[in-house]
Amino acid sequence: MVYHMPRTDLALEAHRVRAGAGRLEGVEVREGDRSGFHISTVEVRSPAASEELCKPIGIYHTVTLEPVLRREEAAFSSAVGLISGLIGDLLPKNDRFSALVVGLGNRAITPDAVGPKTAESVLATRHLRDQDASMFSAFRPVCVLSPGVLGTTGIEAARLVKAVTADLRPDVVIAVDALACSESERLCRTIQISDTGISPGSGVGNHREALDRDSLGIPVIVVGVPTVMDVSAISDAESMKGLFVTSRDIDTTVSDFSKLTGYAINLALQPELSIPDLDLLLS
C-alpha cells in the first residue's frame, strides 16, 4: 500500500503525515518554547526514517513566529536573537571560518523572492578584510550570492554555487530559500532551520540538483520560509494546476521574513554586532 505524501518541505509536516501524534522509529521530535516562540525540532537519524519522510538525515527546527506577525513589541529582536542562535549552533565551532550566504529563488516572483531579498540584508565582509585588515579584522569573512534561477540564467543554481565554492573555499554555506508546506497553520508563519542542505525538488522553485555537504564538501545550513501551499493539499481538480495558496499579505510577509532572516544570519556570523548596528550598516 502506498501512502500519499503531500508536497511539503517541512520535516515537521512530513512527520505528522507519517506518524500522526505517534512516533516513528529513527526520528526524534522535541517541542519547546523559547523567548516566547514555539520551536518544534525533528531529528531524522536513520536512513529508513529519511526515506520514510523524504527528508535527508539531520536536524530540522521549525519556529512559529506569530508574535512577530502580530507586531508585538520587541518580538522582532527576540526572533532575530532566537533564529540567530539556532543558526549559530549549526556553524563550525572554530573562530576563523568564512561563510558563503546564498539567496535561492526568483527575485521577480513574490513568493519565491525570500532568498534574494534576504541576501540583500546580509553584510558582505570578505572584501573589507582585504581592504583594511586591522579595522575589519573582527569580522568573519562573508560572501553573498544570489544565483538566480535556471529559467532566466541558463545555469542551475547549484552548479553556480559549486563553481563559486570551489573558487572561494568558504568553510560553510548558509542557503536561504522559499519553501512549500502542506498545512495552512505553518504557511507564512514559520521558519525552518536545518543542517541538511537543499535536496532536489524542494523549495518553491523546485531545484533539480542537490546543494549539500555531499555536493559541496562543506556543511550547508538551510533557512527556509514556507510561502506557498500546494492546492493539491486541499483540492485535486485539474483546473487547479499551476495555482497555489498563499497569504493575503504575501508581499509584506516576504519583506518581513527576509529582513528577519538576514538579520539573524548577520548576528550568527558576526556576534559582536547588534540590531542597531545592522540598521545603520544596511540602510
Rounded to whole angstroms, the Cα distance separating 173 from 204 reads 20
Rounded to whole angstroms, the Cα distance separating 83 from 89 reads 10
Q: Does residue 137 bind a copy of itself (CB under 8 A)?
A: no
CA–chain centroid gap for 153, Å, is 22
Helix (H) or strand (E) holding 43: strand 37-44
Residue of 274, 276, 283, 269 lying closest to 84 (CA atoms) = 269
State the number of binding residues for a copy of itself (CB under 8 A). 63
Cell matching residue 253: 510577509
DSSP 233: G
Q: Give the other-Cβ count within 10 Å of 199's Cβ.
A: 17
11-50: which residues touch a copy of itself (CB under 8 A)? none
Helix (H) or strand (E) holding 227: strand 220-230
| Closest distance to a copy of itself from the beta carbon of 153 (Å) | 5
- What residue ranges in 54-189 does DSSP mark as E strands? 58-64, 99-103, 142-145, 172-181
| Closest distance to a copy of itself from the beta carbon of 20 (Å) | 18
| Closest distance to a copy of itself from the beta carbon of 127 (Å) | 5
Q: Does residue 174 bind a copy of itself (CB under 8 A)?
A: no
Q: Name which position in 17, 19, 155, 273 contacts a copy of itself (CB under 8 A).
A: 155
Binding mask 215-254 for a copy of itself (x = CB under 8 A): --------------x-x--xx-x-xx-xxxxxxxxxxx--
| Closest distance to a copy of itself from the beta carbon of 195 (Å) | 23
Q: Does residue 135 bind a copy of itself (CB under 8 A)?
A: no
> Contact positions toward a copy of itself, by CB under 8 A?
71, 73, 76, 108-110, 120, 124-128, 141-146, 148, 150-156, 159-160, 162-164, 166-168, 183-185, 187, 229, 231, 234-235, 237, 239-240, 242-252, 255-256, 259, 276, 280-281, 283
